[in-house]
Amino acid sequence: MACSAHLLSQSLYSSHRGSPGALRSLRSQARPPARASPAARPGSSARGCCRGVSLRVAASFEQGRRQVEVSYDPQAKFNQLADQIDKDAGMTRLNLFSPCKINVFLRITGKRPDGFHDLASLFHVISLGDTIKFSLSPSKSRDRLSTNVPGVPVDESNLIIKALNLYRQKTGADNFFWIHLDKKVPTGAGLGGGSSNAATALWAANQFAGCIASERDLQEWSGEIGSDIPFFFSRGAAYCTSRGEIVQDIPNPLPENLPLVLIKPPEACSTAEVYKRFRLEQASQVDPLTLLKEITQNGISQDVCVNDLEPPAFEVLPSLKRLKKRIIAASRDNYNAVFMSGSGSTIVGIGSPDPPAFVYDDEDYKDVFVSEACFLTRDENEWYREPISSKAAFSKDDLPASVID
C-alpha cells in the first residue's frame, strides 16, 4: 500500500543535517528581495535565470516596444529544497486526528458462546475527536504516553500502547514513540474514543515503518485488542456485525452536512454493567438490514434509530432516560431523531447542532458535556482530517454569564 500522500498536511516533520526547520519556516515567510542592479526592475533579483525565476513578456503597441519582466520567487525555491529534505530524511513526528463514532442504530441479535454478544449496527465517524502527537523515541524498549486529561491511564493498559505493541508484534518493526494525547472525546460516552485512539496509533506506526502493512492488515489485527477498533479502518461509515469486527463499508449513507448535537451527563455508563442487564427478549425484533435500507434510501427518522442497549443503560443510569425524554419534548421538531449512542451515556440529536435551552438553564445540567458535530468520512490511504469548521466541545461553565442568566 502506498504511503498516504497527505501526511505533510497533517504535521509531518523530518530531521536532516543542516537546518531543515529554518528552510521550512520560509514556506510561510517570504524572504526580502535581493538588492536590484541598475538593469533590473525594482523587486526582481539580479541573479541569472534558474528554478524559481519566471519570465513574463508583454507587448506595448502604444509605445511600439517590448517590455520584459524578470521576477524571482525565493519562496518557491526554498519550498523545493525543504520538500527534498523531507523526502530524503524520513519521518520523525506526526500529528493525527482521532475522531469518534456514533451508532446510528444498534441491534443486539444474540449471545455468543465466548460470552460476547452478536450485534448489527450502522457505525458512522463524526467530527468530534482527539489529537494525537507521535514522535520517534530514541528508546528501543518502551513507549511514553502523556495526556491532557487526569485519570486517563498512560501505562500499557491504554489502547494506544496496546496498539503499538500489537504492530511491533505483527511486523517486527522496532520503532518506539513519545505520544501526547490531547483528549476532547469524553470517556464512558459510547463514542468509541479509546478505540479510535488505538486505530490511529496503528495507522501512525505503519506510516513510520514505511507502510509495510495494508489497511486490511491493520483492520484485521486491530480486532485482537478491541471489537470497535476495526471499524475505524472503514471509510467512515460501515455496517458492522458479529462482535463489531466484521466491517462492511457503506458509501455515503448520510450527508456530511447533516448537523448533530451530542449531550452527555457527567455520569458514565459501564459497558460491562449495561450488557449484564441486557435481556434479549426485550430487544427490538426489527431486521437490522431493513433499518439499513431505510436509512440509505430515505434518511434519518426516529423509527430507524433503534438502540437495544437503551433499556439496560437506563436501568444503570435512570437520569439518562429522563434526559432523552426532555430533549425530545423540548426539541419542537428540531431533530430528526434522538437516541443513545453505543452503551451510553451520550444522547445524540440529529438535524440540529444546537442543544435545547434547558441544557443551559437547568441547574441539574450544569456539568453536561455538549458538542456539535457532523458526519465524517475519509479517502482510501488517507487518515481522517478534522473539519476546519468544527467547533470545540463545551460545558455550561464555558458559557458567558450573560448567556446563562
Q: What angle separates helix 159-171 from helix 193-208, to the nearest 10 degrees?
A: 40
Q: Which domains does the chain have, with CATH numbers?
A: 84-374 (3.30.230.10)
**Catalytic member of 86, 130, 143, 228:** 228
Query: 119, 105, 123: which is closest to 337 by C-alpha?
Result: 105
CA distances from 213 to 166, 207, 216, 328, 332 (A): 12, 9, 8, 46, 50
Helix (H, G, I), strand (E, B) or coil at 350: strand
Whether 228 sits among the annotated catalytic residues: the reply is yes
**What is the reported pLDDT for 164?**
98
Q: Which residue has the cell 450485534?
A: 119
Helix H or strand E segment including 201: helix 193-208
On the CB side of 358, CA atoms within 13 Å amount to: 12
| Cα distance between residue 244 and residue 222, in whole Å | 11
Classify residue 394 by its DSSP letter. Answer: E
Whether 77 sits among the annotated catalytic residues: the reply is no
Which three cell numbers mark 315? 436501568
| Cα distance between residue 265 and residue 18, in whole Å | 52
**Catalytic member of 86, 101, 162, 183:** 101
- Give the chain's residues under pLDDT 50: 1-2, 4-64, 68, 82, 85-86, 391-392, 397, 399-405
Nearest-5° Cα angle at 353, 349 to 358: 70
**What is the reported pLDDT for 182?**
98
**What is the reported pLDDT for 332?**
83
